[in-house]
A and B are shown apart, each in its own frame.
Chain A
Amino acid sequence: MKKSVLASLAIGAGLLAGASSPSPVMAQAMEQFMPIPIYRTGPYAAGGTGYFGGFMDYMAMVNARDNGVNGVKMIWEECETAYDNARGVECYERLKGKGPTGAAMFHPLSTGITYSTFEKGTADKVPVVSMGYGRGDAMVGSVFPYTFPLVTTYWSQNTAKIKFIGMKEGGMDKLKGKKLVNVYHDSAYGKETIDILNKQAAMYGFEIKHFPVAHPGLDQKAIWLQIKQFAPDWVILRGWGVMNPTAIKEAARIGFPREKMLGVWWSGSEEDMRPAGTAAKGFYAAGFHPAGKNFPVLKDIEKFVQSKGKGNIEAERMGTIYYNRGVVTGIISLEAIRTAQEKFGKKPLTGEQVQWGLEHLNLTAARIKALGGEGLVQPIKTSCNDHEGGGAVKFQQWDGEKWTVVSDWIDADKSLVRPLAEESAAKYAKEKGITPRDCSKEM
């Protein structure tokens, strides 16, 4: 018995050694590698599978329909992070050097993993793209050259949310004297908007109270009792995963109208609403893209990937919020690679070259239409110092079955967000001893 144990240990050690040896890759292969740090297990698996499922389906579709990006096929490999920072770092290190030219970019899909990898990415020259999550101040490209909170950040989105509340109340001046509550996931992600909400409260004269919910967020009874006592006009929900339906159910229990609740985009997926049942009806959520299958790009995915049985996710989940977010990520990521190819040639690119593409991305409305993403993706234009690009948000309402878009693109209040981001980035640069690069000298 003992011998068999030792033998199995030896086999294990052997496999471990074998697993790490890099597989021989031909240097000329026309392939661009994309790491997929997915989480199929753990409390947030619905987000991980939906998002990366959509992303991989989009890349598979581009490979099948256009033979890749200008003839360079997209290849990818999954690595399970279970939404754990340490595993995420391991996945980053494992995947960053794969493929003929290494990883094109890294999508952590976790604010925690973004924080743990963006400095490594800067050192390794691998862009870390945190689309709609991560550090708000990373939009300051002079301090964070390899970090891209593309499309929109939590800070921008937060100003759009206050604008939306103002619209619903009938004007920003009506916000004065209103009471708002911020129910947030007690983590780096959840805390990201506290400062900016306080600033806006002072600006518009509303009262704001912050209520933290401990991970994973199943126990919120005490918090909602306090909210009931406070009797707010609006509740902003910064939830994630199982915390969202729980919050909605608790709101229903204390009789708080769901039409006065407004979620961040991580509180706005079908998977967040369905467990809450009818209680979720009327809930608003921000989104930097809508749900639905009625876009040409999704029809192409259906035609070239899903109908052939090659999908990376169940076909029923196509068109859901997470899935569409993955498709949006795919469109923007591959456009950045295409932009970089215009400068560096139609071949597999290194992370450093893709960084140039991300920094010079100009996704116009016409281009979005050509890609089949009209209404799904907003126009984005980045620069050396602006790593965010878009910043607009659409609001949608849950009707008990599906999401309905109820607003047009609402722009963020950049005049408020940008100085805050610059201040925070300067503080970070000082703490780290970084000299910001001079963006006026970059072409």
Chain B
Amino acid sequence: MLYREAGQFKTSYQKDQAIFPIRQDRIAVWALLLAVFIAVPLLADDYWLGSIITPLLVLSLAAIGLNILTGYAGQLSLGTAGFMAVGAFAAYNLNIRVPELPLIVDFLLAGVFAAMVGMVFGLPSLRIKGFYLAVATLAAQFFIEWVFTHVGWFTNYSSSGVISAPPMHILGMTIDTAVEKYLLTLSVVAVLALGAKNMVRSRIGRSWMAVRDKDISAEVIGIPLLSTKLSAFGISSFYCGVAGALWTYCYLGTVEPAAFDLNRSFQVLFMIIIGGVGSILGSFLGAGFIVLLPILLNNIAAMIGHGTLQADTMANLEHIIFGGLIIFFLIVEPHGLARLWQIAKEKLRLWPFPY
């Protein structure tokens, strides 16, 4: 009853093309933004902010990046973690070698470096498709990890190959508490997510989707494949790069190349598959599922574990339940959690008189 758009008339093209055309959605989005910017920092403790919500946001950003490439432009990629690593190491090197640059500029330039690397590894996409492209991006993943492990310059010749993020300053403020790191991450993620949402609604996003659906048809109607595919790789890698920089600076604090191994790439890929391929909201939902569920299971195990089951049984049970839930959700809704949300919205619009 509350969620009904009756009486909301769109009297101009501008209104019809608004990012959230339904008033209730706009209210909900503003409420959500108020909640995450004001209520969450006030209510959540350091444990929640620092070790659950911040990594969740960072991985959501990486998932948005991959969703642009795989979900919207249809180019399967296994190099996500590699591009995150480029961002992380670029931000670190900019920070220690060009200390004059403001931190935000470092992050953006880190994204730009990742974008350039992403475009280079995107070149094969003009010739190969599908699983073959996945293998090409896999090469990117291994190559990038290898370079950062073996070229000492990137880690400032650290004996163990671990980089450690220098202190963060923005406009004279030092960012060192969990709340400040959370707010920094949130601001970056919110702005970039909004950008992504708008991009996929505009010409560039529509040309990505045209290429995804049928590249030959897209070419026939005048969409240049080269620039479309490369822009998808570039922008996707930009998002991943910024995510990698945030992962280093706002979450772990120190990072070794192994933090961006193939498992991380798979993790982000599973996020968009579970969350919803081709959906910005799905990136957040999928990240939530993949990041929160193991922690939730582990917490439940810790709560009920003592005295009931062997600790090692519990540890393995977590994996079993996690895997089982992934299969369950994929059977119930193969299009991901975002699709569930969409169905819920459609039902709400008809409620209480479904037909």
Interface residues of A (CB under 8 A from B): 1-2, 5-6, 12, 15-16, 19-20, 38, 40-41, 49, 77-80, 85-87, 89-90, 92-94, 97, 111-112, 115-116, 119-120, 123, 135-136, 186-189, 191-192, 194-195, 212, 215, 312, 424, 428, 431-433
Contact = CB atoms under 8 A, between A and B. Distances in A.
Given A85-B252, A93-B51, A431-B96, A80 B318 contact: yes
Contacts of A5: 329, 332-333, 340
Contact of B47 (A12, A20, A123): A20
B300 A431 contact: no
Nearest to B49: A93
B184 interface: no
A40 B315 contact: yes
Contacts of B296: 12, 15-16, 19
A41 B159 contact: no
Given A86-B55, A94-B51, 8 more contacts: A5-B329, A15-B300, A41-B315, A78-B305, A93-B46, A119-B254, A135-B160, A428-B164
B253 to A, nearest CB: 5
A188 B299 contact: no
Q: Which 4 A-B pairs have the closest CB atoms?
A: A19-B299, A40-B315, A93-B51, A188-B160
Nearest to B150: A212
Nearest to B291: A86
A215 B96 CA distance: 29
B298 A115 contact: no
Size class of the B contact interface (CB-based, 8 Å): 35 or more
B223 interface: no
Interface string B259-299: 10100000000000000000000000000000011111011
Interface of B: 45-48, 50-52, 55, 96, 149-150, 156, 159-162, 164, 166-167, 176, 251-254, 256, 258-259, 261, 292-296, 298-303, 305, 311-312, 315-316, 318-319, 329, 332-333, 340, 343-344
Contact of A115 (B164, B167, B302): B164
A313 to B, nearest CB: 9
Contact of A431 (B48, B50, B160, B164): B164
A188 B161 contact: yes
B251 A89 contact: yes
Contacts of B159: 136, 191-192, 194-195, 424
A1 to B, nearest CB: 6
Contacts of A94: 47, 51, 299
A288 B259 CA distance: 29
A187 B146 CA distance: 11
Given A6-B344, A195-B159, A1 B302 contact: no
Nearest to B159: A195
A243 to B, nearest CB: 14
B299 A89 contact: no
A186 B340 CA distance: 43
A433 B167 CA distance: 8
B256 A93 contact: no
A94 B259 CA distance: 21
A116 B253 contact: yes
Contact of B261 (A38, A188, A215, A433): A215
Contacts of B48: 20
A176 to B, nearest CB: 25
Given A40-B311, A97-B47, A186 B162 contact: no
25 contacts: A5-B329, A5-B340, A15-B299, A15-B300, A38-B315, A40-B315, A78-B311, A79-B298, A80-B301, A86-B251, A86-B259, A89-B252, A93-B46, A93-B50, A94-B47, A94-B51, A112-B256, A112-B258, A115-B162, A116-B252, A119-B164, A135-B160, A188-B160, A195-B159, A424-B159
A244 B325 CA distance: 35
A381 to B, nearest CB: 26
Contacts of B293: 12
Given A78-B302, A89-B51, A89-B251, A187 B256 contact: yes
Contact of A192 (B160, B176, B253, B303): B160
